[in-house]
Amino acid sequence: MIVRLFRIASVLLLILVFSSLRAQTAVEIDLQEQAAYLIQDGRVVLATPIASGRYGHLTPTGSFKIIEKERNHYSSMYGKIVNARGNTIVSDADADMPVPPGGKFVPAPMRYFMRFSGANGMHAGYLPGYPASHGCVRLPEENAIAFFNGIDVGTPVTVFGRTPRGRYSEESPWMTRGRSPFMDPRSAPPWWWR
């Protein structure tokens, strides 16, 4: 009987320990600074530039939690339209746009997707240096992987600040002498249209 109570107490203690560890990890997204922070035990362990939602598709502000993680997610709403030869004819397409005969709608890849509000989440994507998405928070792929591995479903996410207007790159704290490795279109990954 005592051994059984000890085992039950040990399991409950482990549950409490893992719950408190999970509560000590959080994500903060600053729309004004176009930055995201992975926080563990009250300290920033990773800071990264982002590209949040542009005007007309703003990233929602508030307190959220990670509700889903998917390594190889695809958008059901946005992507591109290609013709029968596979050439892109509409690079920023909605799923309900007409497609020419022989063509098709190609959903946008959103690798390392971490959903936190409705259809919005954090994922790997191209950063042009200003808010440019349809509401998601794009991260450089290496940082998206680190966030994906560092958080769990249930991790708190706080989104705050005001989305800057216009081309953000001139004001970006991530800029170095007017250039950033995250903003060179020549290095744009295949999901740049997101």
Q: Taking 50 as the threshold, does the pLDDT of residue 190 lie above it?
A: no
Of 182 and 124, the structure prediction assigns the larger pLDDT to 124
| Model confidence, pTM | 0.72
User: If you average pLDDT over residues 11-37, what whole number do you get?
Assistant: 75
What are the chain's domains?
20-71+113-187 (2.40.440.10)
Q: Taking 80 as the threshold, does the pLDDT of residue 75 lie above it?
A: yes
Of 117 and 13, the structure prediction assigns the larger pLDDT to 117
pLDDT of residue 170: 47
User: If you average pLDDT over residues 116-132, what whole number do you get?
Assistant: 95
Q: Are 51 and 132 in contact (CB under 8 A)?
A: yes
